[in-house]
Amino acid sequence: MQSSIKNIPAYYREHGLRALIRHAFRVVSGAAQHKAETLVRAVADARAMPTVGSLLEARFDQLRALQVVRVPDDARRVNIVTDSVNVGSLFGGVATALILAALRANAIGAKLRIVTRTESPDPNGVHRVLSTNGIALRVSPDLTFVPVSGSDIFLDVHNLDEFITTSWWVTYSTLRSIEPERVTYLLQEDERMFYPHGDDRLRCQETISRADIRFLINTRLLHDFLVADGLKNIAQCATWFEPAFPDAVFHSNTRETGAKRKLCFYARPNNLRNLFYRGIELLNEALLRGFLDPDKWDIVFVGKDIPRLTLACGCEPVLLGTMAWDEYATFLQTVDLGVYLMATPHPSYPPLDLAASGGVVLTNRFGSKTDLSDYSENIIVADLDVESLLEGLRQALALTLDAERRERNYAASGLGRSWSEAFERCSFAGTPADVLR
C-alpha cells in the first residue's frame, strides 16, 4: 500500500482522477479485509488455547469451590465435609471425623449434616460406625452429596452453620465459599508427605499454614512434629487429642491353643508412605533366614490394590480386601502380630487398633516418632533399614509367644477407651470455649 501511495502522482498523470480514486478504494478495502481476516483467525486461535485459569481449574479439579447458596438462619448445624463415607473409606481418619462431628452436634444441640464430594454418602456405613462406637445422635443426620465438579447441586448454608473439614483439599475448597472463622480443620497426618515437592505440596503447605482457622490434631506426636517443623500457626490455633478405642469394638479374645498364628501385613502399594516394598522385602528375608516359619504362621495381607505374589519358601500370603467396620474389628481379634509400616510422624491407626485388640505390632521410627510404648508396650518400633526391621521382627515374634508378658502389656495399655473423653479439651472455630463433654 505504501508503494501505491508513493506512485500516486504518476498514477494520476497516467490514468486520471477517477481511476486514482477507484484504485485507492481497492487498496484500502483489500487491506481492511486482510486485517479483518487476520483478527478473526487470532480470535479463533485464542479461543482454542487454554487460559491460565482453565489450566489451573483442570489440574486442581478437587480444589474447586464448594458450591453454596445462602439462606436465612435456621437451626444450628455441624457440617462435616469429606470425600466419601462409603464402606471403603470408613477406617481410621474418616471414622474419627464422623465420631467427632456426631459428638460435637450432640454437645451443642445441633443437627449433623454429612457433606461428601466424590461419592454419594452411604447412610448404612455412617450408622455402622456410630452404632459400633456406641454413639446415638439426638437428631437424625442429613446426608448431602455436593460433587466437586460437573454439577448444579448447591449446599444451602446460613450463619449458624459450622464446618469440620477432613483434608487439606477439602479445607481449601470449603474456604473458597465459607468464612474461615467457621471452619475447623481436622488434621490427622502431615499431609504434605502425600506428595513429592511440587505444586500439590505447595498448596497443601499453604493450607496447613493458615492462621485464620482452627485445627484439631490427631495425636500429640503429630502436633509436636508440626510445631517443631516450623508451623507456628499450629501452636497458636490448634488443640490435639489422642484417639480412643472403645472396649466394645477393640478387645482381646483368647487365641486357640495349638492353632497356627496369624501375621497381618498392612499392604497398600499405591500409598507410598506405607512402604509396601520394604515390607515384603522384610517378610521375604525373615522366611529365608528361617525365623518366620510358614508352617506355624499364616501370613495375611490386608489393604488395597494388592498384587498376587509368592514369598520365599513358596509361601503365598492370603489377600484380604476392604472390610466393613465391624468385620475389621472382629478380624483384629484373630491377629497375633501386625507388621505395619508408616513413613510419617503419625503412629497411624492400624498399630493402635491391633494393640487395643490384644495383638503385638512391629512398626517403624520416623522423625519424632521414636517410641510408642506410652500407647502399649506391645508395640515394637524399629528403624527402617532391613536389618533393624528384622531385629524388631525377632523381638515381636518372641513377644507374641510370651503370653504372660503380652497380656500384662495389654492390661497396662495407655490407649484411651472413650471418645467423649478424647475430645474433651478440643476447641472449635468461632467458639474456643466450647468443648465436648
- Judged by average pLDDT, the poorest of 38-47, 165-174, 278-287 is 38-47
Residue 52 has pLDDT above 60, yes or no: yes
Band the pLDDT of 433: cuts 50, 70, 90: very low
Q: Are residues 193 and 292 in the same domain?
A: no
Query: For residue 391, is it within any domain?
Result: yes
Residue 261 has pLDDT above 60, yes or no: yes
Band the pLDDT of 324: cuts 50, 70, 90: confident
Residue 334, pLDDT score: 95
Identify the burial level of 79 via C-beta atoms within 10 angstroms of its C-beta, where 0-12 means exposed, 13-18 middle and 19 or more buried: buried
Q: Are residues 76 and 146 in the same domain?
A: yes
**Domains contained in the chain, number:** 3
Q: Are residues 28 and 78 in the same domain?
A: no
Q: Are residues 220 and 366 in the same domain?
A: no
Distance CA 434, CA 423 (A): 11
Q: Which of 79, 121, 128 is nearest to 104 (CA)?
A: 79
Residue 327, pLDDT score: 87
Q: Give the best-scoring range by mean pLDDT among 89-93, 205-209, 257-261, 425-429.
A: 205-209
* Stronger pLDDT, 40 or 432, i.e. the higher one: 40
* Stronger pLDDT, 432 or 258, i.e. the higher one: 258
Q: Are residues 44 and 98 in the same domain?
A: no
Q: Are residues 338 and 290 in the same domain?
A: yes
Residue 318 has pLDDT above 70, yes or no: yes
Supply 329's cell numbers.
474389628
Residue 268, pLDDT score: 94
Q: Are residues 278 and 349 in the same domain?
A: yes
Strands 111-116 and 155-157 come out as: unpaired
Query: For residue 95, is it within any domain?
Result: yes
Query: For residue 55, is it within any domain?
Result: no
Query: For residue 230, is it within any domain?
Result: yes
Query: For residue 53, is it within any domain?
Result: no
Residue 20 has pLDDT above 70, yes or no: no
Spell out a b/e string for 259-291, using b for 16 or more CB atoms within 10 Å of the CB, else e.
eebbbbbbbbbeeebbbbeebbebbbbbbeeee
- Region 156-168: mean pLDDT is 97
Identify the burial level of 66 via C-beta atoms within 10 angstroms of its C-beta, where 0-12 means exposed, 13-18 middle and 19 or more buried: buried
The domain containing residue 25 runs over which residues?
A: 2-48
Query: For residue 183, is it within any domain?
Result: yes
Distance CA 285, CA 281 (A): 6
